[in-house]
């Protein structure tokens, strides 16, 4: 069993860490207030800072919100790199910028570690059920080293390519997810405004070509108006920023992505930064002056 440093115990990080503990691995994290009681009962330990976590671990997993957070954890004061032991496997499962990921990988490699970018998709439910989709950017050696751990928390694990390729795939994923959520919201809003029963419309659509996991899960959220976060709008907004910044550097137009980003921004302007991303429906409802089901 491995000694794992796990940094980032948020909505998805907590259940992921729990699965690793259940599999018999020992885990240590950075002390941040009271440790989750369930993780503490399973034996998770705490250390003062990322440097101390690295000193106590053979493998480091990071699961934090954004590119600057990863940079701070890895390379900031008392960062992981200061306590990195030769041969340490560093797996970043956050969703961050592909170009910066390549730079981070270079620094970790030069320090004697092995870097893997392994962002995930599947939301809170996927994390709880150990059914995440994991997109991996790594050397062949890094992928083979990380794979047994990734299989504990995920169901579909794909080695996309070299460093940064996992993050590129995740950005593409977030484009597709955002536009599909918007499409589901628009479809249900249209049906409701036209006087149809949106629950029956969703049921019918799930049997045809429009069927998707997003129509199933997020369509139900929209109808029930349950916008507590499985994945927060502000985080999806961050991912679409990565997409649009990348598109500019590639001289690429992504009009649908830009439109979805504006709808997310409208949600944020209405205190919805921490709504689930299915809450994009609320921005469309304001434009229509109509709530579905009304």
Domains by residue range for the chain, with CATH: 3-162 (3.40.50.720), 168-288 (1.10.1040.10)
Report the share of the chain in percent with pLDDT over 70: 100
**pLDDT interval class at 263 (50, 70, 90):** very high
Around Cβ 223, how many Cβ atoms within 10 Å? 19
**Is 170 part of the annotated catalytic residue set?**
yes
Confidence of residue 202 (pLDDT cuts 50, 70, 90): very high
Confidence of residue 262 (pLDDT cuts 50, 70, 90): very high
Q: What is the pLDDT of residues 23-67, one digit of tens each?
A: 999 999 999 888 999 999 999 999 999 999 999 999 999 999 999
Contacts of 93 (CB under 8 A, 6+ apart): 8, 16, 61, 62, 63, 118, 119, 120, 134
Closest CA to 71 of 60, 83, 62, 59: 62
**Average pLDDT of the residues of the chain:** 96
Report the distance separating Cα 49 and Cα 127, nearest Å. 25
pLDDT score at 294: 66
Average pLDDT over residues 232-249: 95
Burial bucket for residue 165 (CB in 10 Å: 0-12, 13-18, 19+): buried
Task: Please report the pLDDT score of residue 34 as a whole number.
Answer: 87
Task: List the structure tokens of 222.
Answer: 């929209």
Return the closest-CA partner of residue 188 out of 173, 204, 166, 207. Answer: 204
Kindly report whether the global pTM for this prediction surpasses the value 0.85. Answer: yes
Please give the pLDDT value at position 230.
85
> Would you say 163 and 108 are in contact if contact means Cβ atoms under 8 Å apart?
no
Mean predicted confidence (pLDDT) in 122-150? 96
Please tell me which residue in 85, 155, 170, 213 is annotated as part of the active site.
170
Amino acid 9: pLDDT: 96
| CB contact at 8 A, 115 and 105 | yes
């Amino acid at each position: 069993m491995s000694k794992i440093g796990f940094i980032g115990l948020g909505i998805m990080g907590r259940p992921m860490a729990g699965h690793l503990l259940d599999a018999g691995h020992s885990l240590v994290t950075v002390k941040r207030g009271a440790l989750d009681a369930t993780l503490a009962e399973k034996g998770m330990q705490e250390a003062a800072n990322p440097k101390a976590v690295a000193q106590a671990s053979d493998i480091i997993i990071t699961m934090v919100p954004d590119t600057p957070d990863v940079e701070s954890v890895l390379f900031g004061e008392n960062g992981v790199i200061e306590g990195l032991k030769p041969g340490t496997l560093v797996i970043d499962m956050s969703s961050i910028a592909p170009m910066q990921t390549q730079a981070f990988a270079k620094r970790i490699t030069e320090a004697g570690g092995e870097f893997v970018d392994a962002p995930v998709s599947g939301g809170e439910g996927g994390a709880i059920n150990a059914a995440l989709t994991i997109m991996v950017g790594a050397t062949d050696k890094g992928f083979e080293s990380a794979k047994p751990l990734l299989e504990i928390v995920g169901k579909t694990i794909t080695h996309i390519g070299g460093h940064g390729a996992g993050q590129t795939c995740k950005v593409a994923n977030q484009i597709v997810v955002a536009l599909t959520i918007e499409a589901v919201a628009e479809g249900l809003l249209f049906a409701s405004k036209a006087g149809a029963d949106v629950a029956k419309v969703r049921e019918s659509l799930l049997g045809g070509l429009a069927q998707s996991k997003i129509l199933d899960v997020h369509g139900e959220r929209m109808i029930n108006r349950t916008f507590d976060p499985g994945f927060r709008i502000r985080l999806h907004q961050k991912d679409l920023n990565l997409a649009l910044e990348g598109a500019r550097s590639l001289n690429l137009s992504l009009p649908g992505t830009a439109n979805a980003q504006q709808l997310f921004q409208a949600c944020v302007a209405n205190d919805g930064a921490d709504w689930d991303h299915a809450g994009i429906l609320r921005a469309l409802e304001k434009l229509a002056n109509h709530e579905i089901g009304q």
